[in-house]
Amino acid sequence: MLRAFFPTPPPKPKAPELVRQYRSFGGIQAVYRHASRITGTDMEFALFLPPETRPRPCPVVFWLSGLTCTWANFTEKAGAQRAAAELGLILVCPDTSPRGLDLPGEHASYDFGSGAGFYLDATVAPWKRHYRMETYLIEELSELVFAHFPADPKRQGICGHSMGGHGALTLAFRHPGRFHSLSALAPIVAPSEVPWGQKAFKGYLGTDRADWRAHDACRLVAKSHWRSEILIDQGLDDEFLTTQLRPELFEAACTRAEVPLTLRRQNGYDHSYYFIATFIEDHLRHHARLLGGA
């Protein structure tokens, strides 16, 4: 007698530990902790669930924060929960690097090491064992979210600020088909060409600039085949505008690649969370429109 062969599905990942939660605009803002097999450390992330009156499963937007931040900066300062509740969006806010380590030089500067993982997988010792933020986000954290929360894997968006804007752009381009909406606020668009990116890339990836280009949005967009509108907001009073951010380079790259980009230059706005709080609702509505939210 022939038996049909059905492969055993992979085991469901262990549920993350609930650290704390709060009621917010009819939804739930929570913080979770789990032991990461990818980073070899405990990792925390924040997650907002919209009100249960919404249909399930919900579209999900991953928010990537900038240098020095944790999940708390966006969750506590951006004021995104009201719009997310209205639009029926789940918001996932990971940390910006592994924590609890004491690698040589890890805590010596704000723009490298702790709080500055740059959303890539390091290839240079001692960083390559733990600083694997790309794999952590794309594989492990995503697996947790879709296994334990009412998030729709077919409706994923990604957004971020500064270093997190770099991460949003590069991860969307490096993983085609994963994300269906994309936006950023004051992103580092050409890290190979600016001091923040050059320092991080040399430390995490080594001196071969070919390896750097694999994590540079201006280089990646040409072969990304991205076709939905990208929304970027940039404050014109941002102190890092001309030295670290260089949005005009990405604007030119998108024009050459025929990728639709709306780049809004905002007079009087800087790099702070006052800027983010002002425009985050526009970004969430952008994602909801493309992901099929309310």
3-state secondary structure the chain: CCCCCCCCCCCCCCCCEEEEEEEECCEEEEEEEEECCCCCCEEEEEEEECCCCCCCCEEEEEEECCCCCCHHHHHHHCCCHHHHHHHCCEEEEECCCCCCCCCCCCCCECCEECCECCCCECCCCCHHHCCEHHHHHHHHHHHHHHHHCCEEEEEEEEEEECHHHHHHHHHHHHCCCCCCEEEEECCCCCHHHCHHHHHHHHHHHCCCHHHHHCCCHHHHHHHCCCCCCEEEEEECCCCCHHHHHCHHHHHHHHHHHCCCEEEEEECCCCCCHHHHHHHHHHHHHHHHHHHCCC
Please pick, among 121, 216, 233, 238, the residue that the annotation labels catalytic: 238
In the annotation, is 271 catalytic?
yes
- From 34, 271, 286, 287, active-site residue: 271
Is 162 part of the annotated catalytic residue set? yes
Selecting among 142, 162, 181, 183, the annotated active-site residue is 162
Catalytic residue at 34?
no
Question: Catalytic residues, which ones?
Answer: 162, 238, 271
